[in-house]
Amino acid sequence: MKKLFALLVPLSMLGSTVAMDSPHCTAADTTTWMNKSDFLRLAEKLGYASKSFAVTKGNCYALVAAGAEYHETDYFNPVTGAMFVN
């Protein structure tokens, strides 16, 4: 049950965080974006759970980074896979 809760909390936060304040990552056509499965493989190597993936209104790939004391959404350029930094 703890594992299910640990998964649901970050996923629920992703929806609200992404909709409210996602940055604009790219104006590139979606045909030039990195394939979702390739991006998720890269994200898993970086320690992200693939179930926290979303595409934002600002044309970013978004992943939730969650620990015992924090929940943060990280944004990535979908063309390059590079993390978006404000």
Q: Mind listing the pLDDT tens digit for each residue in 46-81? A: 888 767 889 999 999 999 876 667 678 899 999 999
d(CA 62, CA 54): 5
d(CA 19, CA 25): 14
Q: What is the pLDDT of residues 7-52, one digit of tens each?
A: 444 544 444 444 447 799 999 999 999 999 999 999 888 888 767 8
d(CA 50, CA 83): 16
Amino acid at 84: F
Do residues 33 and 78 touch, judged by C-beta distance below 8 A? yes
d(CA 72, CA 28): 25
Tokens of 37: 């499965």
pTM of the model: 0.69
